[in-house]
Amino acid sequence: MAIGGEGGGLSDITSGTGADINTDDEVPLNHLLLVSRDDGRGLRVTSEKAWVLVKGPYTIE
């Protein structure tokens, strides 16, 4: 599930439109997402397993 921030959601680069995935929306499998700001945006894993590729400084909590 997506967690949006004050300025919007997560940009879905794979969609071809850069459309936002907003808070509590499901994140489609195999999609490249851009988290462009440090305002609380991120992902909430609701399944047993998740594969996440992260580039740059990050914190997994």
Q: What does the pLDDT look like over 1-60, one tens digit per residue?
A: 999 988 888 999 998 887 889 999 999 999 999 887 888 888 999 999 989 888 888 777
Question: Residue 23: its pLDDT value, please?
Answer: 94
Q: Note down the domain range covering 51.
A: 1-61
The answer to whether 34 and 56 are in contact (CB under 8 A) is no
- Total domains, the chain: 1
Q: Enter the DSSP assignment of 13.
A: G
The answer to whether 5 and 41 are in contact (CB under 8 A) is yes
The pTM of the full predicted model, rounded to 2 decimals, is 0.73
